Amino acid sequence: MNQLIISAATEGEKVNPLVPNLWEMGVVLVGFAILMFIVVKFVVPMFEKTFAERAEAIEGGIAKAEKAQAEASAALEEYKQQLTDARTEANRIREEARAEGAQILADLKEKAAAESARITAQAHAQIESERQAAVVSLRSEVGTLATTLAGRIVGESLNDDDRAARVVDRFLADLETQSAGAAK
Amino acid sequence: MHLPAILPWGAAEGFSKQMLLVLLSVVFIAVFFVLAARKQQLVPGKLQFAGEAAYGFVRNGIAKDIIGGRDFIKYVPLLFSLFFFILVNNIYGAIPVIQLPTFSHVGGAYVLAGIVYFTWIAIGVKKNGLRYFKLATVPSGVPWFILPIVIPIEIISNFVVRPVTHSLRLFATMLAGHLIVMIAGSGIEYLVMQESILLKGTSVLVLAGAIAMYMLEALIMVLQAYVFTLLTAIYIEGALHADSH
């Protein structure tokens, strides 16, 4: 070992470390030139291509995402608008239906009222006319009966129409006053 | 620890282990990144992700941050190649059995620094014409009577010292780290061979120190690859924007 150190030391005296070995310089030059060639020709272009593609992919992706986002919010806006429209429409229809229903109800009520009034009026008229007819027939019948009765009692023929009518009228008028007084 | 040349076998000169390592590093880097970049997908797999992270580190962490603008992409291949070439060749020093950072020999560092040197001068001249040399050496806003001092300093610092420091920084750190680890290894061996049990015991301390130095050296290996690439980016940026400096 001592010898090795000594030989190294003596070698150091003989060889100045700053003086290069020309062959080594040549090998480094050639080796570095080959490396440069490979790097320029293959390595850098391939990496740069990937970098560029990646940047493009990322930026393109961002643009695509932004577009999708915009589309989505537009669609959302549209749906909201449609929903609002639909709600307004529904409200309107409901209001209309309610109004229409109320109208129909009012119409029906009115019609029913008119009908009932008409029926009542008709009934009144019929009753009135029947009563009238009854009064007339009753009067003539009562008159006939009364005259016949009276004629039989009196023995006098009351077949004379004028006279009979007068008698009957008077009789009836008496009756009416009597019944009116009784009603009172 | 220096292994002798492979061809001719064992000789001091010839096709050295270092040369083999340089060529292997080219194969490693090329194969890894071509494989990682071959099946490019928008959603990356593990290998592609690792490749992209490594590529993105140089592309965005160095080229884009330092050079900026729209033109930085033109300089990414150079910076990328430099970073991984130096990184792999440095890491060799931390791999057991290999344990030989390529740039512990100065030749490779000279070559890379030379490539960078001519590259940034060419960029400066292409961008600004021959006026570039004036822009690079005559600082604006300096009183005229200081110029005779400033101009030579600028010339020396920009065109002479810069490539030298650029290459020697890499070389010196690699050589020094290599030597420290090697000396520690030799020291441990020497101490273990001693008769006294106490002296033998001290080898444990040296071992602990050697492990710490190994860790530090591994850090410096990565750091120097980064520093070399970062400085390259700064030189290129300076050449591109010479008028505003």
Q: How does pLDDT run across A23-48, given as a tens digit for each residue? A: 888 888 999 999 999 999 988 888 88
Which residues in A lie closer than 8 A to residue B186 (C-beta atoms)? 1, 4-5
CA distances, B158 to each of A151, B42, B133, B162, B166 (Å): 175, 44, 10, 5, 11
Give the pLDDT of residue A48: 87
Q: How does pLDDT run across B164-185, given as a tens digit for each residue? A: 999 999 999 999 988 888 888 8
Give the pLDDT of residue A159: 64
Rounded Cα distance between B171 and B178, Å, is 10
CA distances, B172 to each of A18, B73, B220, B226 (Å): 10, 31, 11, 15
- Three-state SS across chain A? CHHHHHHHHHHHHHCCCCCCCHHHHHHHHHHHHHHHHHHHHHHHHHHHHHHHHHHHHHHHHHHHHHHHHHHHHHHHHHHHHHHHHHHHHHHHHHHHHHHHHHHHHHHHHHHHHHHHHHHHHHHHHHHHHHHHHHHHHHHHHHHHHHHHHHHHHHCCCCCCHHHHHHHHHHHHHHHHHHHHHHHC
Rounded Cα distance between A87 and A51, Å, is 53
Q: What is the pTM of this model?
A: 0.67
> What is the Cα gyration radius of chain B?
22
pLDDT band, residue A12 (cuts 50/70/90): very low
Give the pLDDT of residue B5: 59
Which residue in chain B has the smallest CA separation from A30?
B23
Which of the 8 DSSP states describes residue B8? T
Which of the 8 DSSP states describes residue B129? T
Best mutation target, A15, A18, A24, A58, to test chain B (most B CBs within 10 A): A24
Asked if the Cβ–Cβ distance from A42 to B34 is below 8 Å, we say yes
Best mutation target, B1, B13, B19, to test chain A (most A CBs within 10 A): B19
Assigned token pair, A127: 């009753």
Best mutation target, B6, B23, B81, to test chain A (most A CBs within 10 A): B81
Which residues in A lie closer than 8 A to residue B48 (C-beta atoms)? 50
Asked if the Cβ–Cβ distance from B106 to A17 is below 8 Å, we say yes
Q: Which residues contact residue B224 at a Cβ distance below 8 angstroms, ignoring those fewer than 6 apart?
A: B86, B90, B169, B170, B173, B174
Q: Is the pLDDT of residue A163 over 50?
A: yes
Rounded to two decimals, the ipTM of the complex is 0.85
Q: How does pLDDT run across B86-132, given as a tens digit for each residue? A: 999 999 888 887 788 888 888 889 999 999 999 999 999 998 888 88
Give the pLDDT of residue A3: 52
Calculate how close chain B gets to A10, using CA atoms only, in Å. Answer: 14
Q: Do the Cβ atoms of B158 and B111 come closer than 8 Å?
A: no
Assigned token pair, B170: 């890499």
pLDDT band, residue B17 (cuts 50/70/90): confident
Rounded Cα distance between B138 and B244, Å, is 12
Q: Is the pLDDT of residue A1 over 50?
A: no
Rounded Cα distance between B141 and B232, Å, is 26
Rounded Cα distance between A124 and A116, Å, is 12
Task: Tell me what the pLDDT averaged over chain A comes to.
Answer: 83
Q: Is the pLDDT of residue B32 over 80?
A: yes
- Nearest by CB to residue B111, choosing from A28, A39, A53, is A28
Q: Can you say how many angstroms the Cα of residue B46 is from the centroid of all Cα atoms in its chain?
A: 27
Give the pLDDT of residue A157: 58
Which of the 8 DSSP states describes residue B15? B
The proportion of chain B whose per-residue pLDDT surpasses 90, expressed as a percent, equals: 35
Q: Is the pLDDT of residue B49 over 90?
A: no
Residues on chain A bordering chain B, Cβ-to-Cβ distance under 8 angstroms: 1-2, 4-5, 17-25, 27-29, 31-32, 34-36, 38-40, 42-44, 46-50, 53-54, 57
Which residues in A lie closer than 8 A to residue B171 (C-beta atoms)? 17
Q: Is the pLDDT of residue A171 over 70?
A: yes
Calculate how close chain B gets to A32, using CA atoms only, in Å. Answer: 7
Q: Is the pLDDT of residue A135 over 60?
A: yes
Best mutation target, B106, B171, B180, to test chain A (most A CBs within 10 A): B106
- Nearest by CB to residue A27, choosing from B22, B38, B190, is B22
Q: Which of A84-93, B5-14, B106-115 has the lowest mean pLDDT?
A: B5-14
Q: Which of A50-64, A89-103, B11-25, B212-226 has the lowest mean pLDDT?
A: B11-25
Q: Is the pLDDT of residue A161 over 80?
A: no
Q: Which residues contact residue B92 at a Cβ distance below 8 angstroms, ignoring those fewer than 6 apart?
A: B21, B25, B98, B99, B100, B101, B102
Give the pLDDT of residue B1: 38
More confident residue, A20 or B57: B57
Classify the C-alpha dihedral A45-A49-A52-A58 as positive or negative: negative
Q: How does pLDDT run across B140-153, given as a tens digit for each residue? A: 888 888 888 999 99
Rounded Cα distance between B59 and B80, Å, is 7
Assigned token pair, B130: 């021959």
